[in-house]
Amino acid sequence: MTTLPTRRLGATGPEVSVIGLGCMGMSDFYGPADRDESLATIHAALEAGVTLLDTGDFYGMGHNEMLIAEALKGRREQALLSVKFGALRDPDMGFRGYDSRPESVRNFVTYSLRRLNIDHIDIYRPSRLDPAVPIEDTIGAIAELVEKGYVRHIGLSEVGPETIRRAAAVHPIVDLQIEYSLASRGIEAAILPTCRELGIGITAYGVLARGLISGHWSRDRSVDRTFRAMSPRFQGENLDRNLALVEALRGVAETRGATVAQIAVAWVATQGEDIVPLVGARRRDRLAESLGAVALTLTPEDLAAIEAAVPKDAVAGARYPEQLLRFMDSEQA
């Protein structure tokens, strides 16, 4: 077993590996996953020194939590578990909104503890803002779970500055989980400065923009029945424009002897010691590639070249379809 550099999540949070593993794709949204390979990938991450595993109780409707429980048998002490809750699903795998009422929080955490086969969750967070429930009520309910020992730390996900401030006034918040990458830099205007003012860390998901800036995506893979099928960035002229940006980024990567994915992950990690990229690898080879970013030290010249290859706001298309963006408080800022 090896170790990775660590970063603290916010002013009050735990030390975690500089890169975390997002486990969603092992259960949902990106087509069938190989169970044995998923387990092997989680084990490989732990052996490589990854200590932060991220999941949600609605990923595969509990499947992801049970998969992680299986992977962590005899290894619980090696991992910090970050769990999202609140998203409502239907039998057709669709989304039916969000529920963050205090009584629902208590119900959700009970099921997660059982599926994960653990006695506490390290970081617990609502997956989105429930517009029908004041954030103070939701955070207050999680704070009660902290007092009882069922939760260690409280996080947020995809919320804007006002909500962040209101939540932090109720209980210390260790991190905001939000999309951040070369393709999605919206947090830089107001959300990131707010988090830094309040001592809240960032766990950045989507660092490869769902594979778009991984260097492995191509036009001949554009027939896709997963989340990408409804993602504006993978459609028509948007995809053509975006793949041209990736090729420009590939030129930067080649000068460093790195892959496009490694450059993209390293760029996120370089944006601040308070930021922890989450990589959504479903296979050991993709995990190993992303972890190779840890060895990359980007110089000011590298950063300038990356910025020239993928300028801010150059990526075409919104990061989510409109019907999903309207649920995202972070997009209302």
Average per-residue pLDDT in the chain?
93
Please check the confidence at residue 221 and state whether its pLDDT lies above 70: no
Q: Mean per-residue pLDDT for 1-15? A: 93
Q: Mean per-residue pLDDT for 34-41? A: 95
The tally of CA atoms less than 13 A away on the side-chain side of residue 48 is 24
Please check the confidence at residue 225 and state whether its pLDDT lies above 90: no
- Tens of pLDDT, residue by residue over 272-317, are 999 999 999 999 999 999 999 999 999 999 999 999 999 999 998 8
pLDDT grade for 224, boundaries at 50, 70 and 90: low
Please check the confidence at residue 223 and state whether its pLDDT lies above 70: no
How would you class 324 by CB atoms within 10 Å of its CB: exposed for 0-12, middle for 13-18, buried for 19 or more? middle
* 3: CB partners within 8 A, 6+ apart: 49
Please check the confidence at residue 45 and state whether its pLDDT lies above 80: yes
- Tens of pLDDT, residue by residue over 76-122, are 999 999 999 998 888 877 778 899 999 999 999 999 999 999 999 99
Which residues carry out catalysis?
Answer: 59
The fourth-level CATH superfamily of domain 6-212+261-297 is: NADP-dependent oxidoreductase domain (3.20.20.100)
* 67: CB partners within 8 A, 6+ apart: 23, 26, 27, 35, 38, 39, 42, 60
Lowest mean pLDDT among 121-125, 210-214, 318-322: 318-322
pLDDT grade for 217, boundaries at 50, 70 and 90: confident
Q: What does the DSSP assignment read for 198-214? A: HT-EEEEE-TTTTTTTS
Closest listed residue to residue 260, CA positions, set 190, 184, 183:
183
Q: Tell me, what amino acid is at 190?
A: A
Supply the pLDDT for residue 226. 66
Which segment, 15-29, 122-136, 223-237, is predicted with the most confidence on average? 122-136
Pairing of strands 201-205, 6-8: unpaired
- Indicate the length of the chain as a whole number: 333
pLDDT grade for 75, boundaries at 50, 70 and 90: very high
Give the whole-angstrom CA distance, residue 329 versus residue 167: 13
Closest listed residue to residue 101, CA positions, set 89, 90, 92, 88:
88
Q: Which residues pair with 204 in a beta bridge?
A: 178, 277
278, 54 Cβ separation under 8 angstroms: yes
Q: What is the pTM of this model?
A: 0.94
323 vs 233, higher pLDDT: 233
